[in-house]
Amino acid sequence: MNSSMESVYSTQTDTAVLLNNGHAPHHHHQVHSSYLGHSRRHTPALPSSSPSRERLRHSQPMHIRAVRNLQEEHQLRPASLPAIPNPFPELCSLTGSPILSPIQTSDNHIVKVWSEDGAGKVVEIPADMTARDVCQLLVYKSHCLDDSAWSLVEHHPILGIERCVEDHELVVQVQASMSGDSKFLFRKNYAKYEFFRNPLNFFPEQMVAFCQESDGSIPPSQLLQNFLNSSSCPEIQGYLHVKEPGRKSWKKLYMFLRRSGLYYSTKGTSKEPRHLQVLSDLEDSNVFTVITGRKLHNAPTDYQFCIKPSKVRSDCKELKMLCAEDEQSRTCWMTAFRLFKYGIVLYQSYNVPQQRKSNLSPFTAPVRSVSENSLVAMDFSGRTGRVIDNPIEAQSAALEEGHTWRKRSQRMNVLGSPSPLHPSSLSTVIHRTQVWFHGRIMREEAHKMMIQQGQVDGLFLLRDSQSNPKAFVLTLCHHQKIKHFQILPCEEDGQVFFSLDDGATKFTDLIHLVEFYQLNRGVLPCKLKHPCTAVAL
């Protein structure tokens, strides 16, 4: 029995030596060495000249290499078998593996935009996306009427200031200069480029002067060209109230706004260099509208604005608080600040919507817009339609159309439709679906919305009357002044109409009334042009 066991162990020992000499895998060495460790009494001593037998006899641990030698693999691979390529090389490299490689940082940024009703929308944008592109994205997502008046507003509630972000500015850069409590608002601003259409309404001649000319007068035809031409040196001059730093007192100074910055004179209205002191530069600053009211800063008037350095986030002491005498003066100073800082870039941004409309492909949906030139009175009584140029004839055509609608509604009443006097009548509620109707808002809220969306001629909205529950109020802006006109109901032949002129011109509903005054001025100081709207994101 012992001899048979010795023969078995000797056979295993020879096999282990044979495998070791034949480059067998290393785990085989460990298995046989464990057997050999128990049979040292029965196995004859191996010659010391054999290193393999010496290692196996003492059962020493073998080192298992984690990475094979490519040269040894090439020697062991049979010549008849081709090399099998790795089908997933990206999983074996640190750079290509989605697990082993480091996390790739995206170039997109998260921006949250708020609407007038307090709702917010989160959008992911690239770093090179401009404010105009973000507005177009929000218009598409919110299914709004597309026009160039939509704007992104930089709002600082703690500082009580806000400004309209220029269309060419990068939103990510603007967001980097804002504090944690600041936010973007999405609203319309019709006055954004209105100064290109009516420059004389924004730049009174007494406030505009040339530095190189002694008379200081600017021809109206050359007004915008002088602002946009970098070789010219126009300037805005006039009195402004300046808030003293760290105090609530204001000081009235004669100011000069040039391309190089905003200056004030230490001696009356003198513009000599030795009498001028710089108040702020234009390169690293932006002009903001103050929205907190005059009581907070003890301002002398309601027409406040300020200059905020780009590096300032939430420090009120760094703001240059200014106050103008009237709205026209404030608009002039703020518009000139934008022109001096950005120059021809503003004019290029103004021309982009017109170029986009002219370059629309036949497969692109048309951009809908309502303007004064797209609404005209038409006469379709003949074989072909014609434009009614005479306002008296247009008014008579509107009255005739009103009578036609009245007869049609009377026929509907005979057929059993609800009476127009009934509260559920369509004519009493159809206007609530329009963008220009804002329901039961207060007079102060209407003023605030008109100011926020730019006090341009023809900006309007309709609302419920606070004094008369059956009446409505038309709020209209003209010459940067906000006026209110009451729309009273009047009854005739058992039917209710709406009128602005004590029944001289009657309309079956408010939609017809608005459409008529978009074509004709009538008793209003100007036509209705721009509806004051609020969008829900």
Q: What is the pLDDT of residue 478?
A: 93
167-221 residue pLDDT tens: 999 999 999 989 888 999 999 999 999 988 888 888 888 888 764 454 545 565 6
Res 62 pLDDT > 70? no
Q: Cα separations (Å) of 477 from 449, 454, 517, 529?
A: 11, 9, 14, 10
* Residue 390 falls in which region: left (phi positive, over 0), alpha (psi -120 to 50) or beta: beta
Q: What is the pLDDT of residue 318?
A: 86
For the record, the structure tokens of 95 come out as 């750079």
When pLDDT is cut at 50, 70 and 90, the band that residue 392 belongs to is confident
253-262 residue pLDDT tens: 999 999 899 9
Res 70 pLDDT > 60? no
Q: What is the pLDDT of residue 204?
A: 86
Is-contact 169 130, C-beta < 8 A?
yes
Q: Cα separations (Å) of 147 from 39, 151, 171, 194?
A: 95, 10, 20, 14
Res 479 pLDDT > 70? yes
Res 43 pLDDT > 60? no
When pLDDT is cut at 50, 70 and 90, the band that residue 60 belongs to is low
Cα(157)–Cα(40) distance, integer angstroms: 90
Q: What is the pLDDT of residue 305?
A: 96
Least confident of 14-18, 138-142, 307-311: 14-18
Q: What is the pLDDT of residue 413?
A: 44
DSSP state of 170: B
The predicted model gives 385-393 an average pLDDT of 74
**Residue with more model confidence, 89 or 229:** 229
Res 427 pLDDT > 80? no
If you search the block for the tokens 């609203």, which residue do you land on?
187
Res 532 pLDDT > 80? yes
Nearest residue to 131 via CA among 177, 77, 83, 173: 173
Q: What is the pLDDT of residue 20?
A: 43
Q: What is the pLDDT of residue 8?
A: 41
Q: What is the pLDDT of residue 294?
A: 85
262-271 residue pLDDT tens: 999 999 999 8
DSSP for 476-534, written as a single string: EEETTEEEEEEEEEEEETTEEEEESSTTSS-BSSHHHHHHHHHH--TTSSS---EE---
